[in-house]
Amino acid sequence: MQAGFHCAPVTPTGELELSGIGQRRIAKDALDQLTIRVAAFDDGQGNQALLVAFDLLYVGRKLAGQLYQLICNHHGIDEDRVLLLATHTHSAPKIADEFLDDLTVDQDCYDHLVAAAKHAIHSALHNMKPAKLAFASNGDIPTINRRVPISLIGNLHPYFRGRQVANLPNRSAQSDKDVTICAVTFNDGRYFLLANYAMHSSVFRGASYSGDHPFYVEAAIRASDPTCLGCLFLQGFAGDQAADVTAENPWSLHPLKLLERLMSKERFDRSGGAEELKLLAARIAERIQLARLEENALSIIIGHQTATPVTVERGENRTLEIKGIRIGKLKILAANGEPVAAYRSKLMSMTDGPMMTVGYLNGPIGYIPDKKVLSEGGYEPNRSPGLFGQPTPFTPTIETTFIQAAQEVITRMDDH
C-alpha cells in the first residue's frame, strides 16, 4: 500500500459572514486556521482512493461536481473512490448554495477554495510513498445527546412554548462516544491519522474563522508527537450530538431562569474560545492516543455508491447518497446528510472489523432522523428541512430506506 497526505490552509484574509448558528456573524479575524486535508491511497493493483475533508459547514454540489470532474479527468480516479466531506465547522464562509440561510457564496472565496483543493489533491497523489496501516477504536469521547423533550413545565417558558424538544444536554439519552482511528505510517516513522467520531463542530460560536475542535485535536496530537503529519477528521453521525461542554443552570428567583432550571440542571456553555477548545481537544486527543493499534497487511481498495430517493410528507423526494470505500480492512461509509447517532450501532451490527460511519458527504439533504427522533419532533426533523428547500419532514420510511441503502454498500465492501 502507498499513501500520501497534504494539508492546505484556506482561511480567508477578508471579512466574510459565517454560515451556521442562525445568527449574523461577520468574521474579521481568525481564531485558528481553516484547512483542506487530503489523504490518498494506492493498493498497487491499479486502484486509488481519495479522502478530502474541508473545514466547511457543508460541501455543495457545485464544488463537488468541479472536483469530481478534475479528479477523474486529471488523475483517473472514479467518483465511487472519492469522498468529499465537510468537518461541519460552524465558523467558515458559506460554500454550499443548497443550504438556504440567506447568505450568498463569495466568488473570490470559492475560487480560492477550488484552487487550494486542486493543489492539495495533486500534492497528496504525487507524493505517495509505501505505508503501513493500523486501526484502533476507543470510547469515552466527550459527546452528549443534545435533545431534551420539553415538559409541561417547559411549555410555560415563552421560548419553548409550542416546541417539542429543546437543545439541552441529555445524559439519559443514548450517545455515541466511540472513536475509530486509522494510523498511516511511512517507512521513516512519520504518520498521519484518520479519526472518526460524532461531535457537532459548533463549540465556538464567535465572530472569527475557526476549524473548531478538529483543528485543536490535530494540534494537540502534533504537539505531543512531532512525527505526526496531521489528522484528517471524518465527522460522524452527529445529527443529535454535541460536545459535552456544559455549565450549570443555577437556581434563581427570576421566573424564566427558574423554569430553565426546572427543565434541566445543565445547559451548553456557548461562551468558549480557544482555551476551552484546547481543553476539550486534549480530552479527545488522549482517547485517540491511548487506543491500541492493530496492523493491517491487506492491500486492497474498493468503492461502491448508491443513490436512493427518500420521501418527504408531501410526496416530494430527496436523493440519499451513500458511499463506501474500503482501504485494506478499514471500511468507510459516508452519507450526504446528518444522520442521528443511533444509526451507527445499527450499522456496526451488520459487519465485522473496523468501520468509520461518516456524515456530511457532498450534496447535503439535511438531518437524517430515525423513527424515534421523528416521533419526538423538534428542530432536526421538523424545523430544519426548510433550510434545504424541503417544506415538510421526511416520512417514517426514512429509517428503513437509510438502513437498507447502507446495508447494500456494506455488503459490497465485505464481499471483497
Distance set, CA 58 to CA 24, 86, 92, 100, 231 (Å): 18, 5, 10, 12, 19
Long-range contact pairs involving 109-115 (C-beta distance under 8 Å, separation at least 24): 109/12, 109/16, 110/63, 112/10, 112/12, 113/10, 113/36, 113/54, 113/63, 114/63, 114/66, 114/67
pLDDT in tens, 182-211: 999 999 999 999 999 999 999 999 999 999
Please choose, from the candidates 210, 221, 198, the residue with its C-alpha nearest in 3D space to the C-alpha of residue 273: 210
349 inside domain: yes
pLDDT confidence of residue 315: 65
In a domain, 314, yes or no: yes
Q: Is the pTM of this model over 0.85?
A: yes
List Cβ neighbours of 84 (8 Å cut-off, separation of 6 or more).
52, 54, 59, 63, 64, 67, 68, 361, 362
CA distances from 235 to 52, 216, 348 (A): 12, 15, 16
28-37, 104-113, 294-303: least confidently modelled range: 294-303
Position 360 scores a pLDDT of 97
Q: For 223-240, how does the pLDDT look when each residue is reduced to its tens digit (9 = 90+)?
A: 999 999 999 999 999 999
Q: Considering the domain boundaries, does residue 237 fall inside one? A: no
Q: Mind listing the pLDDT tens digit for each residue in 37-81?
A: 999 999 999 899 999 999 999 999 999 999 999 999 999 999 999
Number of neighbours of residue 127 by Cβ within 10 angstroms? 13
Mean per-residue pLDDT, 173-183: 95
Domain count along the chain: 1
Nearest to 204 by CA among 221, 216, 196, 222: 216
CA distances to 145, 294, 343, 401 from 137, in Å: 20, 10, 18, 28
The answer to whether residue 217 is domain-embedded is no
Which pLDDT tens digit goes with each residue over 116-168?
A: 999 999 999 999 999 999 999 999 999 999 999 998 888 999 989 889 999 99
Q: Which grid coordinates belong to 52?
A: 478530502
Q: Rounded to an integer, what distance in angstroms lies between the CA atom of residue 249 and that of residue 262?
A: 9
Q: Is the dihedral of CA 396, 400, 406, 409 positive or negative?
A: negative
pLDDT digits (tens, 9 = 90+) for 373-386: 999 999 999 999 99
Per-residue pLDDT at 361:
97
- Assess if residue 295 is contained within a domain: no
Q: Is residue 133 part of a domain?
A: no
Contact 206, 91 (CB under 8 A): yes
Average pLDDT, the chain: 94
Residues 413, 304: Cα–Cα separation, whole Å: 7
**Residue 384 — left, alpha, or beta (φ > 0 → left; ψ -120 to 50 → alpha)?**
alpha
pLDDT score for 314: 67
* Beta bridge partners of residue 328, listed in sequence order: none
pLDDT for the residue 87: 98
Name beta bridge partners: 137: 180
Answer yes or no: are the C-beta atoms of 173 and 116 closer than 8 Å. Answer: no
Residue 309's pLDDT is 82
Calpha distance 50→332 (Å, rounded): 12
Q: What is the pLDDT of residues 238-277, one digit of tens each?
A: 999 999 999 999 999 999 999 999 989 999 998 889 999 9
Q: Is the pLDDT of residue 297 over 70?
A: no
- Domain assignment of residue 122, yes or no: no
Q: Is residue 266 part of a domain?
A: no
Domain span holding position 369? 300-414
**Bridge partner residues of 82 (DSSP):** 50
